[in-house]
């Protein structure tokens, strides 16, 4: 597996990581715990060293799973997790499915880091993201609090998720950021406009989640696909009705590209992302080892400057219809 560096402080990770949310939420059916642990450990055997989870995923259950799976190889991997919600609002983490509030108050962050360390079975978090910007807490206060955790050795590097470029600048000025994560793929290219130039200027790495467009860029779906109500995609506007039918133009183009390169759509999509900047590290999510094998193969895709120019020209001519989140969630991004 090829490796890449995130940030000026030199966080070394596999060129393709693994987004772990789907093991316990949003994309059923979920594997049983034994099978999930086996899959995660096989990912390590394949060369994946970068694993992404969050405190709020299944209210700690996802972190607990990742912690058990990676405990035997803890010194070989980089674990990224996230804070930013107040889980003290949930009286029973084992049974409740109620939503929780954004909170990045210093006391909430400190409570969150202790819970994450315990569930992850570790004494430090390699990369600690603010999951969503809290409009009620100045980002400078958040940066100062995480800076204290770094001095204490509980956190090694930190980052932001779904933050606006101006917020990135303010946070970085207080405590240098290693990485920012947001959605980015052929399916969603907004970060190219303002965010990526800022990250390049400041020397901050970028970690795209949903690099396969929530599986739309894998070649698995057609315009007739219907998602079960338990599947997160069932409430995302761009996966609905006429929006989906229109958006298949991009999917069909990407599948054509893959065929021309003699590869799979998933590998084509990841290879394209990796070709954009050397400090981009996608974290495709999957629960199946064969998908992990396919996804990491994207690191082997080579695209010439001519090919990249032609792809960009074609993508610029395709408009994607529908939001990438339900409206209430969209309001929590780019703050």
> pLDDT, tens digit, for every residue of 32-59?
999 999 999 999 999 999 999 999 999 9
Cα 226 from Cα 195, distance rounded (Å): 33
Q: Is 101 left (phi over 0), alpha (psi -120 to 50) or beta?
A: beta
What pLDDT is recorded for position 258? 97
Q: How far apart are the first and last CA of the chain?
A: 35
* pLDDT in the model for residue 94: 59
Categorize the per-residue pLDDT at 229 as very low, low, confident or very high, splitting at 50, 70 and 90: confident
CA distance 46 to 289: 10
* 27 in active site: no
Q: Tell which wins on pLDDT, 326 or 20.
A: 20
Could you say which of 27, 57, 128, 129 is catalytic? 57
Secondary structure letter of residue 144 according to DSSP: H
Q: Is the pLDDT of residue 69 over 90?
A: yes
Mean pLDDT, residues 161-174 taken together:
98
Residue pLDDT, tens place only, 97-149 = 567 899 999 999 999 999 999 999 999 999 999 999 999 999 999 999 999 99
In sequence order, the 6+-apart residues with CB closer than 8 A to the CB of 192 are 184, 276
Domain ranges of the chain: 3-215+276-302
Structure confidence by residue, pLDDT tens digits, 233-247: 888 889 888 999 999
Q: CATH class for domain 3-215+276-302?
A: alpha beta
pLDDT of residue 91 exceeding 70: no
Q: Can you spell out the DSSP letters for 223-268? A: TT----TTSGGGG-GGGSHHHHHHHHHHHHHHHHHHHHHTS-HHHH
| Higher local confidence (pLDDT), 268 or 335 | 268
The per-residue pLDDT for 95 is 52
Can you give the pLDDT at residue 85? 96
**Strands 11-14 vs 3-6: parallel, antiparallel or unpaired:** antiparallel
């Amino acid at each position: 597996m090829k490796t890449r560096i995130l940030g000026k402080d030199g966080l070394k990770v596999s060129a393709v990581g693994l987004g772990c949310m789907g093991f316990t939420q949003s994309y059923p059916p979920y594997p049983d715990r034994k099978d999930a642990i086996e899959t995660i450990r096989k990912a390590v055997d394949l060369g994946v060293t970068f694993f992404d989870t969050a405190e709020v995923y299944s209210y700690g259950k996802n972190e607990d799973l990742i912690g058990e799976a990676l405990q035997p190889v803890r010194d070989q991997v980089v674990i990224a997790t996230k804070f930013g919600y107040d889980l003290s609002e949930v009286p029973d983490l084992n049974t409740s499915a109620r939503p929780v509030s954004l909170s990045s108050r210093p006391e909430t962050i400190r409570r969150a880091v202790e819970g994450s360390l315990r569930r992850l079975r570790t004494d430090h978090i390699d990369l600690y993201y603010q999951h969503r910007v809290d409009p009620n807490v100045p980002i400078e206060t958040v940066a100062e609090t995480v800076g204290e955790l770094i001095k204490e050795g509980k956190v090694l590097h930190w980052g932001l998720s779904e933050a606006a470029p101006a917020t990135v600048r303010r946070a970085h000025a207080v405590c240098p950021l290693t990485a920012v994560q947001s959605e980015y793929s052929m399916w969603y290219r907004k970060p190219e406009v303002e965010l990526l130039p800022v990250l390049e200027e400041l020397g901050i790495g970028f970690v795209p989640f949903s690099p396969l467009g929530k599986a739309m860029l894998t070649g698995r779906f057609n315009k007739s696909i219907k998602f079960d109500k338990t599947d997160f995609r069932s409430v995302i506007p761009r996966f609905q009705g006429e929006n989906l039918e229109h958006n298949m133009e991009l999917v069909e183009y990407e599948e054509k590209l893959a065929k021309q390169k003699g590869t799979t759509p998933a590998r084509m999509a990841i290879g394209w992302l990796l070709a954009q900047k050397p400090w981009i590290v996608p974290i495709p999510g999957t629960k199946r080892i064969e998908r992990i094998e396919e996804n990491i193969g994207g690191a082997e895709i080579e695209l010439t400057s001519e090919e990249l120019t032609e792809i960009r020209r074609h993508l610029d001519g395709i408009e994607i219809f529908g939001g990438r989140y339900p409206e209430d969630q969209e309001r929590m991004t780019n703050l």
